[in-house]
Amino acid sequence: MPELPEVETVRRGLSDMLPGHTITDVSSDWTKSFPNDIGVVRKYLIGASVLQVNRRAKVLLIELSTNYTLVTHLKMTGQLVFRGKSGEHFGAGHPTHSLVGDLPDKSTRVTLFMDHGTLFFNDQRKFGWMKLLPTAEVPNIDFMQKVGPEPLEPAFTYAVFKARLFTRPNSIIKAVLLDQAVIAGIGNIYADESLFAAKIHPEMRVSDISELKLKVLYRELLAVLLLSIEKGGSTDKNYVNAEGKKGSYLTFAKVFRREGKPCVVCGTTILKIRVAGRGTHICPKCQRLIKGK
DNA sequence: CACTTGACCTGTCCGC
DNA sequence: TGCGGACAGGTCAAGT
């Protein structure tokens, strides 16, 4: 589920709620969701206070006062929802427009008890995970070593974007956009939306795309990510922010989950096809497949 | 090297 | 109402 805009939305919420507060206890009922050694957990998690909440690609980094960091990947259906003790100003009770009700519920995998409330890691499909690692080791883990640049950082210029794509010149563009080692944080929704906006067929080879279209793709990719963050991300089924509330970006999506509906540009029926093993949404008229040789 | 498939899991939806 | 299959926002590993 969560791609860069959703994880960033969660990060911003947690950043308002957690820093300065202390973790008092933890429980987990699914080992793969929280595979840490209990001794390490007792020593470096319980009693730790939160310094800051960061993000790299689709991974959340909750940095603790013990020089350990809680690294979390939400994968497809993960949620991190904070509920304050009653009377506190955020997260108390649950708003009616929330997607999640009373917590914990049957998809709660990890519960972090804190001095001012409780942080629930819910994950219906159990693909996500939380790992407690020494903060100094986080930059050295495999994921951090190979993940590509952050697209919303100022250093991510058009030249960088193009150079990253051309690390895989013979691959189809959608697969390259989804490759976290090429660019960080893009997933199925924003790959489809940015390719539509740039009028590029998802099965085009990188080296067959014109410079002009690559420039448009660069601009549209950043625009789509920024708009989604502004709208609190995309809620298709499970995604919620740190308060348990939905994001509204999908009401602005032009192709994603719009198969069978008319293209907003030309009226042609939006198709759903399979590209790079993923459901892929295109306008067959706006996005033409042009083969090179 | 690039692409496909299967795995990891649970839940929902759709057709029969 | 039940049952089987396909599919779901993400990554891995293994096979062609």
Catalytic residue among A55, A58, A164, A245: A58
Backbone phi and psi for residue A172, each to the nearest 5 degrees, phi listed first: -75, 145
> Residue A180, CB, less than 7 Å from strand C?
yes
Asked whether residue A277 carries a pLDDT value surpassing 90, the answer given is: yes
**Tokens 């890691």 sit on residue:** A121
Q: Residue A99: its pLDDT value, please?
A: 77
Q: How is residue A202 written in tokens?
A: 């998802």
What does the pLDDT average to over A282-291?
94
Asked whether residue A42 carries a pLDDT value surpassing 70, the answer given is: yes
Backbone phi and psi for residue A61, each to the nearest 5 degrees, phi listed first: -125, 105
What does the pLDDT average to over A180-207?
98
Share of chain A above pLDDT 70, in %: 95
Asked whether residue A1 carries a pLDDT value surpassing 80, the answer given is: no
SS3 content of chain A, % helix, strand, coil (to 5): 30, 25, 45
Is-catalytic flag, A42? no
Is-catalytic flag, A278? yes
Residue nearest to nucleotide B8 (CA to C1'): A127
* pLDDT band for position A186 (cuts 50, 70, 90): very high
Q: DSSP for A205-274, please give it.
A: BGGGS-HHHHHHHHHHHHHHHHHHHHTT-B-SSS---TTSBPPBGGGT-SSTT-TTSBPTTT-PBPEEEE
> Residue A75, CB, less than 7 Å from strand C?
yes
Is-catalytic flag, A58? yes
Cα-Cα end-to-end distance for chain A: 36
> Residue A189, CB, less than 7 Å from strand C?
yes
Q: Residue A91: its pLDDT value, please?
A: 44
**What whole-number distance in Å separates Cα of residue A243 and Cα of residue A246?**
9
Is-catalytic flag, A262? no
Q: Residue A291: its pLDDT value, please?
A: 80
> Residue A3, CB, less than 7 Å from strand C?
yes
Catalytic residue among A75, A150, A278, A284: A278
Backbone phi and psi for residue A256, each to the nearest 5 degrees, phi listed first: -60, 125
The mean predicted confidence, pLDDT, of chain A is 94
What does the pLDDT average to over A232-257?
96
* A144-176 pLDDT tens trace: 999 999 999 999 999 999 999 999 999 999 999
Is this model's pTM higher than 0.75 or not? yes
Give A183 CA → C10 C1' in Å: 15
Q: How is residue A238 written in tokens?
A: 């499970």
